[in-house]
């Protein structure tokens, strides 16, 4: 081959792509060098040695020219002018989900006052979800219209498997785990109920507080709720208890917090507050742990007393930011989620 031809071809290449093509053309599996080597069988024996040497020299020379050209083109590429003053490209930023963020905030508030964060199963036996909580077999919440049952064989003593409708199933487990009070639990987990409207989703989260020790009273409960309300919703937020009924607490209450929009006055600029209409917003349920629940957890109800509460995470977020439809949290609509 005319050596001038390949040298000028290689030297006149202006980019790495074309050089790559030339490398294949000369040195590739079906390239010129291999083609010449395959012809060695047709060369007379006495000329074979010289022929082979010539091809090897050609091959080495091609390698060298290609390698030199490659270096030259690469160094040209890295010398391309780079303007440091141009504005950078902005990439979309991710953020943690509004519910995960609230879980972190709530955990921190309770950990600071010595509560231990636990997360008990979201699939449990009827015993944990109802029986251990003083809820007899005929309790309406145990109906399959209210609770989702898992289609597996029932346990001989613990009953059927359910998707837990509340985090109160953690009470019995925590009493048995700790054994001897003091107990200060904050149980955060997923719950399931067949509901779908602006304030209810089939899957939601609750956080459940449980405190058991000697001489624990409603005063401790109210103090803890006030502390949480101020830390989570802001200074000056108050709580109030209204009598209610739960099977697992006696007495039982519903908890309200003062509305941050009207500061509990029910009026804004002389008009009815559009957020609460009454000065108060409902947070969830609470009460003094029923003696039967303590007994079932292996705790002497004559020696110890306790309180418990259970609130919806989606609900507290709604109240904090003045949102009106919790279904948006799970819509996957980035325009809604990226606001937080
Ligand atoms: C209970 O679930 C009781 N276990 C709470 C409790 C615990 C009382 C300990 C006493 C002692 P309730 O059914 O009211 O209570 O639910 C509590 C909160 O969960 C509600 O206020 C609401 O914020 C939230 N919640 C209930 N159902 C849903 C749902 N489908 N979607 C979103 N949040 C819900």
Residue 94 CA, distance from chain mean position: 12
Mutating to test ligand 1, I would choose from 194, 305, 315 the residue with most ligand atoms within 8 A of its C-beta, which is 315
Tokens of 161: 């498997």
Name the residue among 101, 121, 163 with its Cα closest to residue 340: 101
Ligand 1 pocket, residue 311 CB under 6 Å = yes
Q: Where are the domains of the chain?
A: 3-77, 100-337
> What percent of the chain is modeled with pLDDT above 70?
99
- 4: DSSP letter: H
- 69-84: average pLDDT: 81
Query: Which atom of ligand 1 is closest in space to residue 283's alpha carbon?
Result: 21
In the CATH scheme, what is the code of domain 100-337?
3.30.930.10
Ligand 1 pocket, residue 246 CB under 6 Å = yes
- 329-333: average pLDDT: 91
Count of Cβ atoms closer than 10 Å to residue 212 Cβ: 26
Ligand 1 pocket, residue 287 CB under 6 Å = yes
> Tell me: the pLDDT tens digits for 40-60?
999 999 999 999 999 999 999
**Vertex 186 angle, CA 256 and 308, to 5°:** 50
Which residue is it, tokens 């030199």? 68
Ligand 1: centre distance to CA 25 (Å): 74
> Tell me: the pLDDT tens digits for 3-46?
678 899 999 999 899 999 999 999 999 999 999 999 999 999 99
Ligand 1: centre distance to CA 308 (Å): 12
């Amino acid at each position: 081959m005319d050596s001038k031809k390949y040298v000028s071809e290689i030297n006149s290449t202006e980019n790495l792509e074309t050089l790559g093509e030339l490398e294949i053309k000369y040195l590739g599996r079906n390239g010129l060098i291999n083609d010449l080597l395959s012809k060695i069988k047709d060369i007379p024996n006495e000329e074979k040695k010289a022929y082979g040497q010539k091809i090897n020299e050609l091959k080495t020379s091609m390698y060298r020219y290609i390698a030199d050209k490659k270096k030259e083109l690469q160094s040209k590429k890295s010398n391309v002018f780079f303007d440091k003053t141009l504005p950078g490209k902005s990439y979309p930023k991710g953020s943690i989900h509004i519910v995960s963020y609230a879980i972190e905030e709530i955990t921190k508030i309770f950990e600071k006052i010595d509560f231990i964060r636990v997360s008990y199963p979201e699939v449990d036996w009827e015993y944990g979800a109802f029986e251990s909580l003083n809820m007899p077999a005929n309790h309406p919440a145990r109906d399959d219209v209210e609770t989702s049952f898992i289609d597996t064989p029932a346990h001989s003593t613990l009953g059927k498997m359910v998707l837990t409708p509340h985090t109160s199933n953690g009470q019995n487990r925590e009493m048995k785990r700790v054994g001897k009070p003091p107990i200060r639990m904050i149980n955060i987990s997923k719950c399931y109920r067949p509901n779908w409207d602006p304030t209810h989703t089939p899957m939601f989260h609750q956080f459940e507080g449980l405190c058991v020790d000697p001489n624990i009273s409603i005063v401790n409960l109210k103090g803890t709720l006030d502390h949480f309300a101020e830390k989570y919703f802001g200074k000056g937020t108050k709580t109030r208890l209204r009598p209610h009924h739960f099977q697992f607490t006696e007495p039982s209450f519903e908890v309200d917090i003062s509305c941050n929009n009207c500061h509990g006055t029910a009026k804004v600029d002389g008009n009815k507050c559009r957020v609460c209409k009454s000065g108060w917003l409902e947070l969830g349920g609470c009460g003094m742990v029923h003696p039967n629940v303590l007994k079932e957890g292996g705790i002497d109800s004559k020696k110890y007393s306790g309180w418990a509460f259970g609130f919806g995470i989606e609900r507290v977020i709604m109240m904090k930011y003045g949102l009106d439809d919790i279904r948006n949290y799970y819509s996957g609509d980035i325009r809604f989620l990226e606001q937080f």
